[in-house]
């Protein structure tokens, strides 16, 4: 699916305005401001019916990564069920990254949601492109105390502004610092780095 023939146009994080709709489309209309799910799926196969659209076995495709032009093309073909209407005042360029990076961070936090109940602590590793969205999702979806670990002081400052209760500089002593802050360790660790030893 992700070995497109040339030429094709990239762009997998997409938002914009609806320019045309098919006869059976009822959820969006021409002129609507929308953000697009990165992989349009059939909605009918077993995986889609389980809510696991990214594992669709039907007519799934990935604009910008398959043989379907992506968001940098003048127009992009997608499915009605992949369109999420936005407030008409929204500038699509401001939210397009949420279509992929936002979903990735949200999905990671959603998988962890059953575990960080009130009184627990969750550690977020990395407050960069995905991590800052994950911090906000964790804050919105749970009542856990969040500790953010990052090498970058500016990223840690942003983390405080968007919901982190504690921050720790990843300077080689971060494990000990987290253990001290938590009285022994966190309930959940969500890793948005996954390289250079962070996954250990």
**pLDDT tens column, 92-101:** 999 998 988 8
Over residues 93-122, mean pLDDT: 90
Specify the pLDDT at position 46: 95
Query: Is the pLDDT at 58 greater than 70, yes or no?
Result: yes
Q: Could you check whether the bond before residue 7 is cis, i.e. omega within 30 degrees of 0?
A: yes
Token pair, residue 180, equals 């001290």
The residues, any chain, with a CB within 8 Å of residue 184's CB and separated by 6 or more, are none
Specify the pLDDT at position 54: 85
In what helix (H) or strand (E) does residue 108 lie, and over which residues does it extend? helix 101-112
What order do you get walking across the sheet with 121-125 strand by strand? 166-169, 145-150, 121-125, 188-191
- Pairwise CA distance, residues 55 & 47, whole Å: 6
Token pair, residue 164, equals 């982190």
Proportion of the chain above pLDDT 90, given as a percent:
64
Query: Is the pLDDT at 158 greater than 80, yes or no?
Result: yes
pTM, whole model, 2 decimals?
Answer: 0.79
- Residue 5 — pLDDT band, cuts 50, 70, 90? confident
Set out the domains of the chain in order of their start, with CATH numbers: 1-96 (3.90.180.10), 103-191 (3.40.50.720)
Q: List Cα–Cα distances, 171 to 79, 99, 126, in angstroms.
A: 46, 33, 13
Residue 189 bridge partners (DSSP): 123
Tell me the pLDDT of the chain averaged across its residues.
90
Lowest mean pLDDT among 14-18, 44-48, 119-123, 193-197: 193-197
Q: What is the largest CA-CA distance in the chain?
A: 61
Query: Is the pLDDT at 199 greater than 70, yes or no?
Result: no
- Residue 146 — pLDDT band, cuts 50, 70, 90? very high
Query: Is the pLDDT at 32 greater than 70, yes or no?
Result: yes
Query: Is the pLDDT at 1 greater than 60, yes or no?
Result: no
- Pairwise CA distance, residues 123 & 8, whole Å: 40
């Amino acid at each position: 699916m992700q070995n497109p023939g040339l030429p094709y146009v990239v762009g997998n994080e997409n938002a914009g305005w609806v320019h045309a709709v098919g006869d059976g489309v009822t959820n969006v209309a021409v002129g609507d401001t929308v953000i697009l799910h990165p992989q349009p799926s059939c909605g009918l196969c077993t995986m889609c019916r389980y809510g696991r659209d990214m594992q669709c076995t039907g007519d799934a495709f990935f604009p910008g990564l398959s043989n379907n032009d992506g968001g940098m093309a003048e127009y992009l073909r997608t499915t009605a069920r992949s369109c999420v209407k936005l407030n008409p005042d929204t500038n699509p360029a401001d939210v397009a990254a949420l279509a992929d990076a936002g979903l990735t961070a949200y999905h990671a936090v959603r998988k962890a949601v059953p575990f960080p109940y009130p009184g627990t602590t969750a550690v977020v590793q990395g407050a960069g492109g995905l991590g800052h969205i994950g911090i906000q999702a964790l804050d919105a979806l749970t009542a856990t105390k969040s500790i953010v670990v990052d090498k970058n002081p500016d990223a840690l400052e942003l983390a405080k502004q968007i919901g982190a209760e504690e921050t720790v500089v990843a300077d080689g002593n971060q494990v000990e610092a987290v253990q001290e802050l938590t009285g022994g360790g966190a309930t959940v660790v969500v890793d948005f780095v996954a390289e250079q030893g962070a996954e250990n």
